[in-house]
Amino acid sequence: MIVRSKAPLRISFCGGGTDVSPYMEERGGVVLSATIDKYAFASLRFRNDQNITVQSLDYDIVAKYHVDDDLEYNGELDLVKAVLRNMCDGNKQGLDFFMHSDAPPGSGLGSSSTVVVALIGLIKHWQRLPLTSYELADLAYRIERVDLKIKGGMQDQYAAVFGGFNFIEFGRNSAIVNPLRIETDIINELQYNLLLCYTGRTRLSANIITTQVDNYVRKEAEVVAAMDELKDITIDMKNALLQGRLDDFGALLNDAWKNKKKMAKQITSSSIDMLYETAREHGALGGKILGAGGGGYLLLYCPFDRKHIIAEQLEKRGGQVVEFTFDYHGLQTWEVRP
């Protein structure tokens, strides 16, 4: 038997950064996001011995272990090791893991966290573990942020597990996922007007988040004010989306981007600014870099009669326009029997 899983990557419209400690514990955070048809995939195959192999197609790495090995965190496939240490302690079954993602790490779509969710989903399915969606997302968060001490927020794990359009509230080590009931016509129109552009470079989000956290801990007035304003904008964007005020939604993306850039200097760059200003000059109402910033994907809201022009201008300047649709299912697992 083979067990497979897939978990969707996400677009964060607004609020990213307010889901990071210690801001979320002290002031509370909110994020508006939606999952898309780009995925992290994982497969689990059973062996007749007590060896464990892990093959990452993204990194072109194959690692081999024994079930009794002490899986030391050394920078190679630590996400997999952490999942195994948390969920397979005492396991004597030989296993083969295969993983790949539709977007590279550092792209701003939450790919690393989504891989962890996909791996946990495999083992949950195999062992028939009675984990709720909240428990699964929280475990993914703890593995990545507590065990491995990788800097980042809470939104990615919950988006990947639940899927769809969500308004997520963050408090002291907790999250509440509020699924949004949006009319189909509004979603179709939003899809029609959004443009996703790869900037051509990835970045290490942990470095940017470290700077952001340090700025907040020092209580830099501009940073704290920008994060508080982002929360208000996130609520306004959620309301605009539910009510179908999509031009307002696009304009709020621009307001959010202005505030996000105040949180850390590395969030933007000359090349990102060039692409964003090009889009604005040709009619985009607003947009933002996804994830922590510094590279990855640029999301833009464009009037329908300007979208093709904006896409053409971005590609002339080195951007890569990527087609996508929204995903509503969240984490999925299934079995393949020969």
Nearest Cα neighbor of 77 from 54, 46, 51 is: 54
156 flagged as catalytic:
yes
Catalytic residue among 19, 138, 156, 327: 156
- Which backbone phi and psi does 34 adopt, to 5 degrees? -145, 145
C-beta separation of 7 from 121 below 8 A = yes
Listing from the earlier edge strand, what are the strands of the sheet with 320-322?
286-289, 297-301, 194-198, 320-322
User: Residue 146 carries which DSSP code?
Assistant: I
User: Residue 13 carries which DSSP code?
Assistant: E
**Exposure string (b/e) for 22-37, b if CB count within 10 Å is 16 or more?**
ebbeeeebbbbbbbbe
CA distance linking residue 158 with residue 15, whole number of Å: 14
CB neighbours (10 Å) of residue 162?
26
Is residue 1 packed enough to be buried (19+ CB in 10 Å), middle (13-18) or exposed (0-12)? exposed
Helix (H, G, I), strand (E, B) or coil at 15: coil
Per 3-state DSSP, the chain is made up of helix, strand and coil in percentages (nearest 5) of: 40, 25, 35
- The residues assigned a catalytic role are 156
